[in-house]
Structure 1
C-alpha cells in the first residue's frame, strides 16, 4: 500500500511523468572550452570552399552534460547566442583568437510542454528583434512559435499558426527569420508543398504570435535528399539557406544555397544557387545554424553544428567570408534587410 501511495503522489506532482529520464537542463555554472579546427584536417593551406573563404573555427565543449545540440544562432558583434534543441540557451563573447569570455547558461522559462522530455522542448529556430532584444523560438513537434524577453526570463506569448498545424511533428519550424519590416519567414524542414522535392515556407506580415493568420505560403525547391536546417538574410537582402542530408552509416553532407528574396510572393516556387558543399575531406557535421554579419565591407557567415549529444559528433562554430560576386545594387529588397 505504501508503494502504491508513493506512485500516486509521483503521478500527481511530477509534470508529464512517464518514467522517462528528465530532459537535461544546463547548470548555473557556465564553463565553455574552445579548441581550433581546420577546414581540412592536416592541410592548413586550404582556405576556400566553394564561394566561401575560411576565417577559422572552433570546437566547443563543456563539462555540463546538457551542453550541445545547437540548432539556431544569433550573432551581434562578438556576442553569440546558441539555442539547443532541448530548450537550452548558451551565451558568450568570443574574440578573434577563438577564446570564450562571459559564458552564460539559460534554460527557457516556458514552452509547449512541461519540459520533462525532449519532445516537450524541441526548440529548433530563433529570430531576434534588434530594437527590443526579444526572441522568437520555433518548436518542432508542437509546431508552435513562442516569444521571450531579451534575457530569456519570461515568455511574452505564443501561438500555433493555422498554416503550421499539420506540419510533420519532427519536421516543423526548422528555420525562422525576422524581417526589418516586422514580418517573418518560417521554413518547414519536412513539410512539402506542392511537390515532394519542395519545402513549404510561410511569409507572415507581422509577428506570427499577434497575427498568425496574416501572410502567405510559398515554396522552396531543394536538392534531392536534402532538407532545410536553418536560414538567414544577407545584408543585401538575399536569403541564405542551410541544407542538410544524413546518410548511413553515419555522415552528413551540407549545402549552402542563395535564394533571390525579391521573388518571394504568394504561391511562388523559389530555386536557389548552391555556393558551397561541406563533405569529406572538408569539415562537415550536422550543421543546423547559420547567421550573417558584417565586418567592414565583408559579409561574414557563421555556421554551428548540432552534436545530438553524441560522441560521434562535435559542437562546431565556423567563420567564413562570402566571396560570391556582389549582386546589382538594386537586388536587395529593403523590406527584407536582415535583423538576425
Structure 2
C-alpha cells in the first residue's frame, strides 16, 4: 500500500521485529458519527450509515489492519505486520478479542517485506488465503491460523510493484479468485487484476488478466463478495492537502473476461471532514435479509491516524 504522508513523517517499522505471544488484550470501541457536523446524517449515496467506532488498545502492535472478514458477529482482521485480531461484536463493543501471529510468511527473514499482508479471502471450510505485497505471494493457512497449507508466487504477479501489489482479493462462489493490484496499470486509469480458476497458492491455477477501472484518482484497497455474487470493491485516495477519501463500487463477475476492462459502479464516496481514514478492509454480511458492509482502516501504527470500524447498509 502507498503510505505517502506517513513516509514523509515517520519510519514506520524497523527492518525486523519480534512478535508477542497470542493475547486477549482489551480493545475499546468508542462510537463516532460519520459526519461530525451533522451526527444525524445517515444517507450517503446508496449507503446508509449504521454506526462506527474508533478502536484503541494497549496491545503493543495493535493496528495496521488491511483486510477484514466477518459474519456480522465474529470477525477476523489481518494486519500488515503479520499479525491478526479476532473479535466478537456485541452491542457496539468488541468482546472475546484475541490477538495472534500468522505462522509463516512468504520470505525467509521475517522483516517487513516478508510479512506485508494486504488482502484476505476465506473458503467454505474456513481456510484463509492472504495476499502479500513486496513478495507478490499468496499463502493459504488453516482455519485456526496455526498452519501454512500452501504458498504460491503467481508469475502473473511477479512484475507488480513491491509496495502496491495484491491489495484486494475475493473468492467467488465456485472457487475462483480475483486479485486486484493497487499499483500495476495496464492502461490510463485502469488497474491490473487477475482471475484465477482456483486456489492462487497452487501453481497449476494460472490466471488470466483483465482491467479494473476505479473511480478517478482512486486505487482498490480491498474487496468482498456480496450475497448476490457480485464484488464490492473498497477504493482509497490520498492527497497531501485533503488526506484520505474512500469510495465503494460494485463489479459484476459476469463481465470479467480475458482482456476486458471492467468499471466499478459507484455506490458512494466519503471524504474529510467526514470521519474517514485510511480505509483498507471490507466485508459484507447479511442481517435480516439486509446487506451490511463493514469497513476497517489501517492506522499505519502512527498517532496521526486512527483505527476506524464503520458499518453501512447497502440500499
Decide which moves more: 113-122 or 313-322.
Answer: 113-122
Q: Distance in 2 between matches of 1:63 and 1:312?
A: 17
Indicate how the Cα distance of structure 1 residues 216 and 93 shifts in structure 2: closer, same or farther if over 3 A, else same: same
1:172 match? 165
- CA contact 1:220–1:270 (8 Å) conserved in 2: yes
2:95 match? 101
SS of 1:313 mapped into structure 2: coil
- CA contact 2:173–2:229 (8 Å) conserved in 1: no
1:121-162 CA distances to partner (integer Å, 9 max, x unpaired)? 0000000013x2110000000000001001111100101111
Matches within 5 A, 1:1-340: 20=14, 22-23=16-17, 25-31=19-25, 32-95=27-90, 97-114=91-108, 116-130=110-124, 132-193=125-186, 195-249=187-241, 251-323=243-315
1:70-90 CA distances to partner (integer Å, 9 max, x unpaired)? 000110240010100111110
Indicate how the Cα distance of structure 1 residues 133 and 298 shifts in structure 2: closer, same or farther if over 3 A, else same: same
Q: Distance in 1 between matches of 2:153 and 2:263?
A: 28
How many angstroms does 1:112 deviate by?
Answer: 1.4
How many angstroms does 1:29 deviate by?
Answer: 2.7
SS of 1:240 mapped into structure 2: strand
Q: Distance in 2 between matches of 1:178 and 1:146?
A: 14
Q: Distance in 2 between matches of 1:289 and 1:98?
A: 19
SS of 1:192 mapped into structure 2: strand
Indicate how the Cα distance of structure 1 residues 238 and 253 shifts in structure 2: closer, same or farther if over 3 A, else same: same
1:76-107 CA distances to partner (integer Å, 9 max, x unpaired)? 24001010011111001011x21111111110
Q: Distance in 1 between matches of 2:76 and 2:225?
A: 17
Decide which moves more: 166-175 or 248-257.
Answer: 248-257
1:218-258 CA distances to partner (integer Å, 9 max, x unpaired)? 10012332111011121112211111111114610111112
- CA contact 1:70–1:83 (8 Å) conserved in 2: yes
- CA contact 2:53–2:309 (8 Å) conserved in 1: yes
- Structural RMSD (CA): 1.7
Structure 1 runs (4+) deviating above 4 angstroms are none
Q: Distance in 1 between matches of 2:243 and 2:20?
A: 28
Number of matched residues? 302
- CA contact 2:15–2:112 (8 Å) conserved in 1: no
SS of 2:185 mapped into structure 1: coil
Indicate how the Cα distance of structure 1 residues 200 and 212 shifts in structure 2: closer, same or farther if over 3 A, else same: farther
How many angstroms does 1:213 deviate by?
Answer: 4.2
- CA contact 1:162–1:212 (8 Å) conserved in 2: no
Q: Distance in 1 between matches of 2:207 and 2:265?
A: 26
How many angstroms does 1:214 deviate by?
Answer: 2.7
Higher strand share: 2
How many angstroms does 1:269 deviate by?
Answer: 0.6
TM-score (norm 2): 0.92
Indicate how the Cα distance of structure 1 residues 45 and 128 shifts in structure 2: closer, same or farther if over 3 A, else same: same
1:10 match? none
TM-score (norm 1): 0.85
